[in-house]
Amino acid sequence: MRILVTGGAGFIGSHIVDLFIAAGHHVAVVDNLHTGKLSNLNPQAVFYQVDIRDPEALAEVFRREQPEIISHQAALADVRGSLQDPATYAQVNIVGSIHLLELARQHGVRKFIYASTGGAVYGEPEFLPVTEDHPINPLDPYGASKHAVEHYLFLYRHNYGLDYVSLRYPNVYGPRQDPMGEAGVVAIFTGRMLAGQPCTINGDGQQQRDFTYVADIARANLLAAERGSGIYNIGSGIGTDVNTIFALLKEAAGYTLPPVYGPPKLGEVRRTYLDATKAQRELGWQPEVPVAEGLRRTVEYFRSLS
């Protein structure tokens, strides 16, 4: 199949590109390299350095590539950055996605896979694990912008028959992770531990997140190209606290310093993890890499860079 991955030079997108290529598909990548890196890019992918806010440049990519599937990963993805510049987040994350949906409709794209976020659309959970029908109350412009696109996905399917899968990702970690991303704590701690520097835990470290290894996220995209329609939580259904992440990374990295406890981050959700039984039932997806193993692989990756 002919697949277009936006954000394919980024952390998650580059793993998706690798997996689609390994499965024998033709892959084109659109990325403006805002946080993405050419070094992440699979050499077998056709690369277009294009900003998704530029509809003419995107139209040219669609004319040349005629994609059957879009895996849309490109976004501004820093929660704190979104509080400082909400309008730019809306332009990239909402308007950029609308440009892609318009072109997908015009070119008869078969399916639109969208990277949504289970960490940021639900807000403070009313129950755990969070299911897809949990109330939507994003607490920052990033979450609001990511969720807004799900309305457009729904109406493009309703009005034009453009099928979609929206994957609400958990806290994704692994090789190529950027310390600024949603699960940045893993990349930050790993980098500091390998450099022998102290690590600061915000608050008491008992805040829980659904940490899921990036290869499992890429596999959800591969499955979504073939099956499913609508919105799916992706995650382990297990909350892992930051103290545990610190301890597991410490062991994997052979680090000896104790953690430094700092003030808690303002507005941070205390506990969240996602119920992915719908994805298991309809996509045949479940996570395969346990956190301890995923963190070991992540440490090995960052060690190999230094």
Residues that bind ligand NAD (CB under 6 A): 7, 9-13, 30-36, 51-53, 73-77, 92, 96, 115, 117, 119, 146, 169, 171-172, 178, 181-183
Cβ atoms of residues 139 and 123 within 8 Å:
yes
The answer to whether 261 is a known catalytic residue is no
Pick between residue 142 and residue 156 the one whose CB is nearest to ligand NAD.
142
Where are the alpha helices (H) located in the chain, listed in sequence order? 11-22, 55-65, 79-84, 86-90, 96-106, 141-160, 184-194, 214-226, 242-253, 277-282, 291-305
Closest CB 298 distance from ligand NAD, rounded Å = 13
Which is nearer to ligand NAD, 60 or 198 (by Cβ)?
60
Contact present, 165 and 232 (Cβ < 8 Å):
yes
Residue 145 CB neighbours (<10 A): 26
Q: How far is the CB of 278 from ligand NAD (least distance, A)?
A: 17
Nearer to ligand NAD (CB atom), residue 79 or residue 201 = 79
Which two structure tokens, joined as six digits, stand for 45?
């992918």
Q: Considering 48, 89, 114, 142, which one is annotated as catalytic?
A: 142
84 vs 79, 80, 81, 93, 140, CA distance in Å? 9, 7, 5, 15, 10
Helix, strand or coil, per DSSP, at residue 163: strand
Q: How near is the Cβ of 97 to ligand NAD at its closest, in Å?
A: 9
C-beta of 94: minimal distance to ligand NAD in Å?
12
Residue 91 or 277: which CB sits closer to ligand NAD? 91
Distance, CA of 268 to CA of 208 (rounded, Å): 11
Query: How many angstroms separate the CA atoms of 241 and 102, rounded?
Result: 41
Give the active site residues: 142
